[in-house]
Amino acid sequence: MRDFTDPNTKNESEEILERSLRPSSLSEIIGREVEKKNIQIMIDSAKKRSKALDHILFHGPPGLGKTSFAYVIAKEMAVPIHITNGSVLDKPGDLAAILTSLENNSVLFIDEIHRLKLNIEEILYPAMEDSVLDIVIGKGPNARTLRLELPQFTIIGATTKLSMVSGPLRDRFGMSFRLDFYSDEELQQLVLQKSRMLNVNIEEPAALEIARRARMTARIAIRILKRVRDMAVVDGREVIDYEIAQKTLGLLDIDDNGLDMLDRNILKIIIEHFNNRPVGLSTLAASLSEEPDTIETVYEPFLIKKGLIKRTPKGRVVTHIGLREYGGEHLLGIEEY
């Protein structure tokens, strides 16, 4: 159940489906008006100047459109896109091999760019700035630096942890966009768009209900839509209405606020085990048998956005709204943080 609402986890069939549902132009991207406008100007300018697009960094929680933007940008620029991940580049040679094989003006998408090792990152600096690759040959006093010219290219970086991207790397991106959570209305539009792509008939109230309970996250909305579609097929219904959506969400154990079991457990532990005294991330993760990283990048941002928990210098506490809605009324007014 947990994997269902963790937008970090994806299986193979989901990867394939996601690829087929990706927007193929800027106009197909729902919402994100400011980002689209800025990117369109950058693209138009690069095209007019016949130059590679400036480097762009996207950051924000998983499942909110970072990868989609990278693909759309490459498509709009009509250039090839190459995909890699900060965690798989082990040696400087791994990155050098990719950089030297890029076509002119192409896009290199580096997902989880915060996971790049420092010695690999250092190769990127001159590559991003001057399109050159500095290779050190030999060791000690005999070491020499060989400079190779690279083609013009664009790095599109994506990260869920901006704070872990070093200053010098951040500075080398011409533009940086934070992709925040979606509003219910935007996600409703997204559910309607993906339903058309999947040839699924859905009524607007059903799409809104899925949107409302999808953790403000595109990937989760798509996942719920698929489960609701399955339920409609099994029930022999041609059209997805509000009732089928409700029934499926109930079976998935997603509550009225869109919280899943783990979200609710986070609130429960802070309320019941700690009487709403501030709880540190590692203590919270240990109590839930979860990775601190997952709590920090997936669960916490959503619960904070919903106004259910907040961070204090001493740790996480449940807000008044959270206490009222999740069984902590007796702790209202007792604030020790």
> Binding of ligand ADP at residue 18 (CB under 6 A)?
yes
Assess 81 for contact with ligand ADP (CB under 6 A). Answer: no
161 annotated active-site: no
Task: Give catalytic status of residue 100 as yes or no.
Answer: no
Annotated active-site residue 134? The verdict is: no
Residue 30 lies near ligand ADP (rule: CB under 6 A): yes
Query: Within a 13 Å sphere around the CA of 137, how many CA atoms are in the beta-carbon half?
Result: 6
306 is catalytic: no
d(CA 223, CA 87): 26
Choose which of 5, 6, 23, 56 interacts with ligand ADP (CB under 6 A). Answer: 23
Quick one: 215 or 219, whose CB is closer to ligand ADP? 219
Of the candidates 66, 114, 215, 306, which one interacts with ligand ADP according to CB under 6 A? 66
Q: Is 21 in the site for ligand ADP (CB under 6 A)?
A: yes
SS (H, E, C) 174-218: CEEEECCCCCHHHHHHHHHHHHHHCCCEECHHHHHHHHHCCCCCH
Pair 266, 284: CB distance under 8 Å: yes
Task: Supply the minimum distance, in Å, between the C-beta of residue 125 and ligand ADP.
Answer: 25
The residue from 219, 223, 229, 306 that is catalytic is 219
Identified binder of ligand ADP from the candidate list 6, 32, 89, 105, rule CB under 6 A: 32
86 near ligand ADP, rule: CB under 6 A: no
What whole-number distance in Å separates Cα of residue 75 and Cα of residue 235?
40
Q: Are 152 and 52 in contact (CB under 8 A)?
A: yes
Nearest partner of 219 among 59, 1, 68, judged by Cα: 68
CB 2 within 8 A of CB 261: yes
Q: Give the H or E element holding residue 304.
A: helix 300-305
> In sequence order, what are the beta bridge partners of 57?
157, 176
Residue 96 or 191 having the CB closest to ligand ADP:
191
181 or 274: whose CB is closer to ligand ADP? 181
User: Would you call 111 a catalytic residue per the annotation?
Assistant: yes
Q: Which of 42, 64, 165, 318 binds ligand ADP (CB under 6 A)?
A: 64
Alpha-carbon distance of 60 to 113, in angstroms, equals 12
301 binds ligand ADP (CB under 6 A): no
Tell me the DSSP string of 35-82: HHHHHHHHHHHHHHHT-PPPPEEEESSTTSSHHHHHHHHHHHHT--EE
Q: How far is the CB of 164 from ligand ADP (least distance, A)?
A: 16
Is residue 218 at the binding interface for ligand ADP, with CB under 6 A as the rule?
yes
Residues 131-170 that bind ligand ADP (CB under 6 A): 158
Per CB under 6 A, does 67 bind ligand ADP?
A: yes
Q: What amino acid positions are annotated as catalytic residues?
A: 66-67, 111, 160, 219
In the complex, the residues that contact ligand ADP under the rule CB under 6 A are 18, 21-23, 29-32, 62-68, 158, 190, 218-219, 222
